[in-house]
């Protein structure tokens, strides 16, 4: 399961523990700050400590929480915004 939910900064502050629990379960959270800036809270896969360099390629990759469409949309939106800011 990977949904992206959008909340305001105020909502995030008031519900931080709830949002952390959602992210821990696989949901990504986009926080919209005043002024339009955005912050993402995303789940990350667990990693083993002290992995030998030759073992890295053999580690299992958990992509079950990756949503390619949501990622593509977010990247396109972010690049568009950065381009507008750069050109202004």
Tell me: pLDDT of 62 over 80: no
Tell me: pLDDT of 17 over 90: yes
Per-residue model confidence (pLDDT) at position 45: 80
Q: What is the pTM of this model?
A: 0.51
Predicted confidence band of residue 1 (pLDDT cuts 50, 70, 90) = very low
Tell me: pLDDT of 59 over 90: no
Go through the domains of the chain in sequence order and give each one's CATH number: 1-44 (3.40.1620.10)
Host H or E run for residue 32:
strand 28-32
Task: Compute the distance between CA of residue 42 and CA of residue 1 in angstroms, rounded to an integer.
Answer: 12
With beta carbons less than 8 A apart as the criterion, state whether 38 and 21 touch. Answer: no
Question: Which phi and psi angles does 87 have, rounded to 5°?
Answer: -80, -15
Q: Which of residues 2 and 23 earns the better pLDDT score?
A: 23
How crowded is the C-beta side of 40, counted as CA atoms within 13 Å? 13
């Amino acid at each position: 399961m990977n949904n992206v939910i959008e909340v305001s900064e105020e909502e995030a502050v008031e519900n931080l523990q709830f949002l952390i629990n959602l992210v821990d379960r696989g949901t990504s959270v986009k926080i919209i700050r005043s002024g339009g800036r955005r912050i993402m809270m995303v789940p990350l896969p667990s990693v083993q400590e002290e992995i030998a360099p030759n073992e890295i390629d053999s580690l299992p990759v958990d992509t079950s929480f990756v949503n390619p469409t949501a990622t593509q949309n977010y990247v396109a939106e972010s690049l568009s915004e950065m381009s507008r800011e750069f050109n202004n």
